[in-house]
Amino acid sequence: MPELPEVETIRNGLRRFILNQKISKVEILDKKILNDFPKKFNLLDDCFLEIDRVGKLLIFNFKKSSLKLLIHLRMTGQLVFCQKNKKIKKLILGGHSDRSTKINCQNLKHLRFKIIFKNGDELNLNDTRRFAKVSLVSPDVLLLEKKKFGIEPLSSEFSYLNFLEIIKNKKSKNIKSFLLDQSLIAGIGNIYADEILFSSKINPIRNVGSLSKLEVADLHKNINKIIKLAVDKKGTTFSDYVDIEGKSGSFLGFLQVYGRDALPCKKCKNTIKKIKLAGRGTHYCSFCQK
DNA sequence: AAGATTGTTGCTTA
DNA sequence: TTAAGCAACAATCT
């Protein structure tokens, strides 16, 4: 469930806690989540120098090793930072709003991967459904991976002109699947796709080619606006997320259509519809979105 | 108790 | 060549 804003929130949280901490051990508890991982590796006494993000993918850079640790949380992955002897013992840095997966350091049922630091702190990867992917790869492989991603919606690359360039070759594509396509624009998932389309007053069943110039311009603006706002609010899907000040992700209160099936539209009171599109539950207001 | 859920890949069909 | 649709992946909740 974590989309760009949630992954960015996780990245910011992690940077504050694990950078420059000496690593003492890497534990693999479930091999299924390993994607591309060497049998032998040495990260003892190494540490994380910086954490990057592309789309929904986290990229961990080491100080000594040239290898890159890649973590994709997919749908139910959660990163939990556990401090050994501090006031804040647990810090849930990712995951979803499902109450059943309230995670803590002692809940080992869904623990898949773990990094232990020399001072006793731990970074745990929990994942109920085991879809998460963890890789440890060379810089070359990372470059190949990065090429699969489209433009970053919060980068300066995401200009109106570049957006036109992306959209002009996809005229026959459905607008919702266009937004969800990671190779075109990186990081938008189901929640923000619905919110962006509501904000742009565009019906999700429309074809890209049917959009007017004005609608395309509006859509471009709203992709940036919604994603930026969601990052500011530290994401949506963090029922249990707490940052160091004890604040949780608050975009939930800003949602206009997602999860509001059969509820009145916040703008016009018309009933929000829910349909299946691009294989995903899609929420929209048939009055506001034409 | 069947169906829905979420992200991504991969297959099939048009 | 392109895109839509669907199953698969695994676990859990409704």
Q: Is the CB of A170 under 7 A from strand C?
A: yes
C-alpha A155/C-alpha A158 separation (Å) is 6
Q: Is the CB of A183 under 7 A from strand C?
A: no
Q: Is the CB of A182 under 7 A from strand B?
A: yes
Neighbours of A86 (CB within 10 A): 9
Q: Is the CB of A53 under 7 A from strand C?
A: no
How far apart are the two ends of chain A, measured CA to CA in Å?
27
Mark the nucleotides of strand C covered by protein, meaning any atom under 7 Å from a CB: 2-13
C-alpha A225/C-alpha A196 separation (Å) is 9
Q: Is the pTM of this model over 0.85?
A: yes
Q: How many angstroms is C1' of B6 away from CA of A46? A: 34
Q: Predicted confidence band at A80 (pLDDT cuts at 50, 70, 90)?
A: confident
* The nucleotide closest to A183 (CA, C1' atoms): B8
* The nucleotide closest to A100 (CA, C1' atoms): C12
User: In this predicted model, what pLDDT tens digit does every residue of A3-41 receive, in sequence order?
Assistant: 999 999 889 989 989 999 999 999 999 999 999 999 999
User: In this predicted model, what pLDDT tens digit does every residue of A44-68 receive, in sequence order?
Assistant: 999 999 999 999 999 999 999 999 9
